[in-house]
Amino acid sequence: MKTKICTLVILAVIALTTIGYSYACYNGGIQINFCQCNCDVMFTKVTSKDNEIEKDIADVYAQITHDGDTINVYITNAYPCYEAYINFTIKNKGNKPAHIDDAYIEDYNQKALEIDITNIACTWINPSQTISGLLKVHTLPEAKQNWQYTFKARIRASFDLQRHPRTTSFWENTNTGRISATTSLILQ
């Protein structure tokens, strides 16, 4: 009799365990020590100014888009030797350290514009930490009047603790932040 009761108890425990395990698997599986990694860098602050002291001809305006990944910069009525300065702040909103891998300018007319971005590459940002940078746009004398120029300044960030150099597939699959400064320069 004791053997039958012991067997029934063991079968009941196995049945209840199987039901619980199958329910867990049906709803996404069993996860032990699950920590969701939040990897996100974004622009939190932007200010703009120019080199005009006495005259007030050109204007520069910068704004962060709603997603925090892009800064749009607008420069109007620029003239030769006009300089615009865009100060920006990047914040690591994630829970993992972020690495600023690269900062570069692309797709611009080098005869009309001289564009520099501060060297923030190869910098680590801990969670909730910020880093500041500067984008400088200088209009060259060869720039055409009544013309519109555009460019993109990109900042690439990763959340992997790999060492340099990295493979091409790594760069294609990294999370990236960017400054896409679409600038209208109208020279008069």
- Domain residues of the chain, as ranges? 1-34, 41-179
Count Cβ neighbours within 10 Å for each residue of 131-153 and write b for 16 or more, e otherwise. bebebebbbeeebeeeeebebbb
Q: Provide CATH code, domain 41-179.
A: 2.60.40
Q: How many residues does the chain have?
A: 188
Close Cβ partners of 78 (under 8 Å, ≥ 6 residues apart): 58, 84, 139, 143, 185, 186, 187
Q: Determine the Cα–Cα distance for residues 26 and 34; give it in Å rounded to an integer.
A: 18
Comparing C-alpha atoms, which of 131, 145, 133, 111 is closest to residue 181? 133
Give the pLDDT of residue 149. Answer: 84
- pLDDT value of residue 4: 82
Has this prediction a pTM greater than 0.75? no
HSE of 110, CA atoms in CB hemisphere, 13 A: 3
pLDDT at 49: 92
Give the pLDDT confidence score for residue 182 in this predicted structure.
40
Q: pLDDT category, 25, cuts 50, 70, 90? A: low
Q: Give residue 181's pLDDT.
A: 37
Residue 57 half-sphere exposure toward CB, CA atoms < 13 A = 15
